[in-house]
Amino acid sequence: MKLVQKTMKYYDAISSSYNRLYGVEQGKKWGFVKERVRVCGRVLDLGCGTGFLLRELNAVGLDLSKAMLLRASGKRFCGDAHSLPFKDNVFDWVVSLSLLQDVPDPERVVREARRVGGNLVFSVLKKNWSKERLARLGFEKIWEEKKDWIGFTRARPSSQSSKR
Ligand SMILES: C[S@@+](CC[C@H](N)C(=O)[O-])C[C@H]1O[C@@H](n2cnc3c(N)ncnc32)[C@H](O)[C@@H]1O
């Protein structure tokens, strides 16, 4: 079975307990991001999962797992981050919390995010990723959170910028 399908099955299977298991942790991660960048405008939440950011950011969500998406509300799409069903430059921001370490081709996912979006802010678990690896993907700024590296990069000069 391909890695993407395995990942989908995994998240389908844990969808009913995801918020209980990871909700607090992901909320704190987002709190950390919010202190550093102001995400606004047209936002894509890539790998939105159960969608805790969709309402707050009035964002469009995309996720592989239908079962995770069923727990979300708002505008959302089922799809693969390697091949996004959006036109070029339709978003001001692409936010992605804890997706990148699951994908077989992170370079392609970041390339797709750059194609559709403006500024990018991505988190990856430190236990699976190094800061250098995130830097090699073109993130200009990398912050260290408790369990994650958080990468930020501005794709278009006119877009929102980092506060620090
Ligand atoms: C750790 S969860 C994070 C969910 C959400 N961002 C959060 O912070 O609660 C990772 C999510 O990424 C999704 N995902 C993994 N690989 C993906 C892919 N190739 N395309 C789209 N979504 C994917 C999973 O289905 C899962 O919902």
- CA angle centred on 116, ends 29 and 56, rounded to 5°: 35
Per DSSP, the three-state class of 124 is strand
pLDDT classification of 156: cutoffs 50, 70, 90: low
Ligand 1: which residues within 6 Å by Cβ? 4, 7, 11, 26, 47-49, 52, 63-65, 68, 80-82, 97-99, 102-103
Average confidence (pLDDT) over 38-47: 97
Instruction: Report how far residue 130's alpha carbon sits from residue 94's, in angstroms, rounded to the nearest whole number.
Output: 21
Cα→Cα distances 28→32, 50, 134, 142, Å = 6, 16, 21, 17
For residue 155, what pLDDT is reported?
A: 74
For residue 158, what pLDDT is reported?
A: 45
CA nearest to 101, candidates 66, 148, 141, 153: 148
Average confidence (pLDDT) over 87-106: 97
Q: 139 CB contacts (<8 Å, ≥6 apart)?
A: 120, 122, 151, 152, 153
Residues 20-40 pLDDT 10s: 999 999 999 999 999 999 999
Task: Please state, rounded to an integer, the average pLDDT across all residues of the chain.
Answer: 94
Of 5, 7, 86, best ligand 1 pocket probe by most atoms within 8 Å of the beta carbon: 7
Over 50: is that where the pLDDT of 154 sits?
Answer: yes
Which CATH number does the domain 3-153 belong to among 1.10.101.10, 3.90.105.10, 3.40.50.2300, 3.40.50.150? 3.40.50.150
pLDDT classification of 103: cutoffs 50, 70, 90: very high
Domain ranges, ordered by start, for the chain: 3-153
For residue 136, what pLDDT is reported?
A: 97
